[in-house]
Amino acid sequence: MRKIGVFVCHCGTNIAATVDVKAVAETLGREPSVVVSEDYPYMCSESGQNLIKDSIRDYGLDGIVICSCSPRMHENTFRKAAASAGLNPYMVEIANIREQCSWIHKDKAEATEKAILLGKAAIAKVLLNTPLIAGESGVVKRALVIGGGIAGIQTALDIAEAGFPVDIVEQKPTIGGKMAQLDKTFPTLDCSACILTPKMVDCAQNENIKIYSYSEIESVSGFVGNFTVKIRRKARYVDETKCTGCGLCTEKCPVKKVPNEFNLGLDNRRAVYIPFAQAVPKIAAIDADYCNMLKNGKCGLCSKVCTVGAIDYKQEDTFVEERYGAIVAATGYEIADVSRYGEYAYNQSKDVVTSLELERLMNAAGPTGGTLLRPSDGKHPHTIVFVQCVGSRCTPDKGKPYCSKICCMYTAKHAMLIREKYPDTEVYVFYIDVRTPGKNFDEFWRRAVEEFGVHYIKGAVGKISPRPDGTLDVQGSDLLMDEQLHISADLVVLAAAIEPSKTARSLATMLTASMDTNDFFTEAHPKLRPVESPTAGIFLSGVCQGPKDIPETVAQASACAAKVIGLLSKDKLKGNPCVAHSDEMMCNGCSNCANVCPYGAITYSDKEFRMPDRTTKTRRVAWVNPAVCQGCGACTVACPSGAMDLLGFSNSQIMAEVDALCR
Amino acid sequence: MQVNEQTGFVPTIVAFCCNWCSYAGADLSGTNRLQYPANVKIIRVPCSCRVNPMFILRAFGRGADGVILCGCHPGDCHYTTGNYYTRRRMTLLCSMLDYLGIERKRTRVEWVSAAEGAKFAKTMRSFAEEIAALGPNRRLEDLRVRKSEPEGRVPDAE
Amino acid sequence: MNDLKDRVVRMSGSRVERCMRCGKCSATCPSYEDMEYHPHEFVYLVERGDVEKLLASESIYKCLTCFACVERCPRGVEPAKVVEAVRLIAVREQGKNRLKPDDLPALTDADLPGQALATALRKYAK
């Protein structure tokens, strides 16, 4: 017979006022197998814990029941106390006689009776508890960052700085992401490339960082501390080890009419190209959709001019398999499609552009060399209208339900830069609300109005009609004047909503990380764990978790790196021992459990069993990986043969509680 | 304690609560001192999907008059999908109990989040009232184990 | 007062509380200049429960029911349906038609599209 100790806490008067703690201790002390039953004013206090520890040693207890507050409060405290007295911490059960008894009942007799019953149920359970030891698993000291924008770059740099190797996987031929395309950054108006490219170079030069550019994630398996990731290295038809990035091929390539995605199609590039001058890695790539040699075998010019023989038309996709301890999602965002809003005439006129297109039009490295010119006729625009909230703050059928957060600030930035550079230009901004929370942010947009004379109009644009003379008739409302306006504009800039990368959802499926309805990754806790995914070992950096500007992205990226470093600096991970466990003798290999497991923790293997007649038989049986299992218990109910059980919450333990409460 | 005023019947009610939402909701109703009848006794499980329909039948077999199962709201499960399984399993169990002629109201499934202390207390009050009005569970009670067991008996492992 | 609001909301099926006051309905409205109360004010007055002001205004008869505002409202508020509901209430309370088929020839002029007449009759001869 097991020896059980019962400890009843008064919690000052919290419990003792409505529950007769002495009576509870006395009654529970008469239960068979209970050898000691005590009450104490504060069981969680130092002396209370000492009382428990001493009793464990003095009576040689096999299990203890604490009648106290909610196990969500002090279960760990008492488990630690038990462990320090040499008792397995999972031989502790808590009867919740505060939140679920003394605090909700007024009648003392009634509450005392219920407390006794709850105590009996806990005793019934603890009699069936088994000592559990938390499993340990190793940690691969290498991190994977998916996405090479500013979020991924910052996370990788911080992890590398701490001494851990990091791989960046970027689907484009260069890292840098959206920030590389920007002109100036708010609220200080420093040049984006000037602050980003040194970080890109740091990445390339840091010996702890390895960049897989032009690559995608093919598959992910494993669990926290031990992921195995297959990376597809897309064929770029250029030998990375040989290419020096001299750019000769990109000058000689005869295919000149390929829309340049880096400039958002505002100009053209060649079929062999380096995305931009400061690309990292600075290695050319051949666009197989346009290259004459790859399409019909006629050309080969780039290979002739290449002095190092780096061009390789026979290159194929290759695969790399690597093991990681932690994975960071930093997949960033895209600009939402604005052509669905016919009233803005985005498809009808070249002079209706998105804000990101305007960034390129204003960028010194952009298609116009930094002079702001209309895309349609290359003339200088004199009246520019900005439209806010295009596709943001809509009902889900009309666009994105969220605020894209960065538009108010970058529009103020654009308006200010234009007014500064071209004082003869009139700038109008149609806004619904100006949202500028952040350090120096409100001052920034007020400066646009007060110092730069930007016209902010409270209202929306209802229709944009291109006129034969090349101007755009912008029809909008001025809600403060209660007027409908018509502005004859040369250029209209749409502050398009931002949306998560199209690749994010398939990646989330591979990572078993959860997403919200907008395809943003969900954080483990919206306030207290903002850079972790609910799936252990998966971390979130940047806009893939929600709209944010560069300072916030960098802050989150570093926070994310801190969490990754915390994980990688551990040699062993302690798991939750209350995990599912399959009895091989009873398992019939039906796969029901594996089908309901949300974590993919259950695998099958063929195992040989000795039969009673001394023959051996091979059977397919389930095995639960204790490092992956989170202990939900879905499999235990799905199992038709009763082979699957949950440690710490076993079938017999719960039945024992049921019996104790009903009897 | 919920009592049927006419018959003096005091129901026994078992509530299975998932650790992450409903058990925390129950704690919250305690923290807020929101009363509900002492007939309700809570059993903590990691997730509502841990509750085998057998546990519910076992409770009825041992003389429970009502069983309520509480989990996170659909979509909010700590384990992502657990409560969806619960919802399906309980639909089946309830229709089976219905088929057997057991009052539909004796079993209930509710979604209570960790923030819904008031909802937890309200749900328990209304459930206890309903069970008190229904009267004792006779059809599913296992008479062989009826209250005559010696106290402190360790139940068989299934 | 709120009875009227409830009626408008029920008849139109419009969710006026969804309005975020962007003014896109008024930006898009082709009969804006003829109106005393503009589409966004329609929505706002109904949300406030001030339906009487709208009932007394000529604005309710100026709406062409072109549904441009319904099409473009980012919040799915459907202002034209609100206007139509208020108009129906006015017409029903007056108990008489504002327009008879015999009045039409006098109102026609060469610039008026034929469809406008059909719409007008549908609107005012309820």
Condensed to tens digits (0 to 9), the pLDDT of residues B49-69 reads 999 999 999 999 999 999 999
Q: Is the pLDDT of residue C3 over 90?
A: no
Residues C53 and C103 both lie in one domain: no
Buried-state track A453-476, b at ≥16 Cβ within 10 A, e below 16: ebebbbbbbbbbebeeeebbebbb
Residues C73 and C122 both lie in one domain: no
Q: What is the pLDDT of residues A364-416, one digit of tens each?
A: 999 999 999 999 999 999 999 999 999 999 999 999 999 999 999 999 999 99
CATH code for the domain of C16: 1.10.1060.10
Per-residue tokens: A166: 């990091």
Pairing of strands A215-223, A226-233: antiparallel
Q: What pLDDT, on a 0 to 100 scale, did the predictor assign at position B118?
A: 92
ipTM: 0.92
- Which residue, A262, A271, A167, A269, is CA-closest to A215? A167
Band of pLDDT at residue C80, cut at 50, 70 and 90: very high
CB A103 within 8 A of CB A9: no
Residues C63 and C85 both lie in one domain: yes
Name the residue range of residue C16's domain. 2-95
Residues in chain B: 158
- Convert A260-289 into a string of H (helix), E (strand) and C (coil): CHHHCCCCEECCEECCCCCCCCCCCEECCC
Residues C24 and C83 both lie in one domain: yes
Phi first, then psi, for residue A20 (nearest 5°) are: -80, 90
Structural domains of chain A, with CATH: 4-126 (3.40.50), 143-332+505-568 (3.50.50.60), 334-499 (3.50.50.60), 580-647 (3.30.70.3270)
- A257-261 LR contacts (CB < 8 Å, sep 24+): A258/A287, A258/A290, A260/A367
CB A103 within 8 A of CB A14: yes
For residue A475, give the nearest of C20, C22, C27 by CB distance: C27
Buried-state track A553-591, b at ≥16 Cβ within 10 A, e below 16: bbebbbbbbbbbbebbeeeebebbbbbbbbeeeebebbe
Residues C12 and C39 both lie in one domain: yes
Inter-chain CB pairs, A–B, below 8 Å:
157
A381 contact partners, CB below 8 Å, separation of at least 6: A351, A372, A373, A374, A425, A489, A490, A491
Query: How close is the nearest chain A Cα to the Cα of C26, in Å?
Result: 6
Band of pLDDT at residue B149, cut at 50, 70 and 90: very low
CB contact under 8 A, A514 and B80: yes
Residues C62 and C122 both lie in one domain: no
Buried-state track C111-126, b at ≥16 Cβ within 10 A, e below 16: eeeeeebeebbebeee
Q: Is the pLDDT of residue B151 over 50?
A: no
Q: What is the pLDDT of residues C6-39, one digit of tens each?
A: 999 999 999 999 999 999 999 999 999 999 999 9
CB contact under 8 A, A395 and C76: yes
CB A572 within 8 A of CB A621: no
CA dist C86 and C46 (Å) reads 9
CB B9 within 8 A of CB B128: no
CB C31 within 8 A of CB C64: yes
C73 contact partners, CB below 8 Å, separation of at least 6: A398, C24, C25, C79
Q: With a CB-CB cutoff of 8 Å, which residues 61-80 of chain B face chain A?
A: 62-64, 78-80
Residues C34 and C88 both lie in one domain: yes
pLDDT beneath 50: ranges in chain A: none
C54 contact partners, CB below 8 Å, separation of at least 6: C37, C42, C45, C46, C60, C86
DSSP class of residue B60 equals H
CB A187 within 8 A of CB A233: no
Identify the three-state secondary structure at position A66. strand
Q: What pLDDT, on a 0 to 100 scale, did the predictor assign at position C95?
A: 56
Residues B114-119 have a mean pLDDT of 89
B70 membership: H or E segment, kind and range: strand B66-71
Residues C74 and C105 both lie in one domain: no
Q: Is the pLDDT of residue B144 over 80?
A: no
Residues C90 and C109 both lie in one domain: no
CB contact under 8 A, A124 and B31: no
Cβ contacts of A394 on chain C, cutoff 8 Å: 74-75
- Which residue, A511, A518, A516, A517, is CA-closest to A539? A511
Number of separate domains in chain C: 2
Q: What are the angstrom distances between the C-alpha of A3 and each of A24, A155, A552, A650? A: 18, 53, 56, 20
Inter-chain CB pairs, A–C, below 8 Å:
68
Burial of A376 (0-12, 13-18, 19+ CB in 10 A): middle
Domain residue limits, chain B: 13-136
Query: How close is the nearest chain B Cα to the Cα of A221, in Å?
Result: 19
Q: Is the pLDDT of residue C108 over 80?
A: no
Q: What pLDDT, on a 0 to 100 scale, did the predictor assign at position B156?
A: 43
Question: For A98, which residue in chain B has the nearest alpha carbon?
Answer: B30
For residue C75, give the nearest of A395, A458, A463 by CB distance: A395
The one-letter amino acid code at B30 reads G
CB contact under 8 A, A393 and C33: no
Cβ contacts of A657 on chain B, cutoff 8 Å: 43
CA dist A508 and A336 (Å) reads 20
Residues C118 and C81 both lie in one domain: no
CB contact under 8 A, A99 and B50: no
CB A330 within 8 A of CB A152: yes
Q: What pLDDT, on a 0 to 100 scale, did the predictor assign at position B147?
A: 59
Residue A438 C-alpha from the chain's centroid: 23
Residues C88-94 have a mean pLDDT of 78
CB contact under 8 A, C26 and A394: no
Mutation for A interface: B49, B84, B106, B156, most A CBs within 10 A: B49
Q: Which chains touch A (3 or more CB pairs under 8 A)?
A: B, C
A63 membership: H or E segment, kind and range: strand A63-68
Phi first, then psi, for residue B69 (nearest 5°) are: -115, 125
**In this complex, is the C-beta atom of B148 within 8 Å of any C-beta atom belonging to chain A?**
no
CB contact under 8 A, B43 and A105: no
CA dist A465 and A460 (Å) reads 15
Phi first, then psi, for residue A366 (nearest 5°) are: -85, -175
Q: What pLDDT, on a 0 to 100 scale, did the predictor assign at position A137?
A: 85
CATH assignment, B13-136: 3.40.50
Residues C36 and C50 both lie in one domain: yes
CA dist A387 and A9 (Å) reads 64
**In this complex, is the C-beta atom of C68 within 8 Å of any C-beta atom belonging to chain A?**
yes
CA dist B78 and B47 (Å) reads 8
- A464-469 LR contacts (CB < 8 Å, sep 24+): A464/A343, A464/A344, A464/A345, A464/A349, A464/A352, A464/A492, A465/A345, A466/A345, A466/A348, A466/A349, A466/A351
CA dist A603 and A597 (Å) reads 10
Residues in chain A: 663
Residues C52 and C80 both lie in one domain: yes
CB contact under 8 A, A655 and B155: yes
DSSP class of residue A43 equals T
Q: What pLDDT, on a 0 to 100 scale, did the predictor assign at position A1?
A: 79
Per-residue tokens: A304: 């002739």
| HSE of A293, CA atoms in CB hemisphere, 13 A | 18
The one-letter amino acid code at C97 reads N
Cβ contacts of C32 on chain A, cutoff 8 Å: 477, 484
Query: Interhelix angle for A71-84 vs A46-59, to 10°?
Result: 50
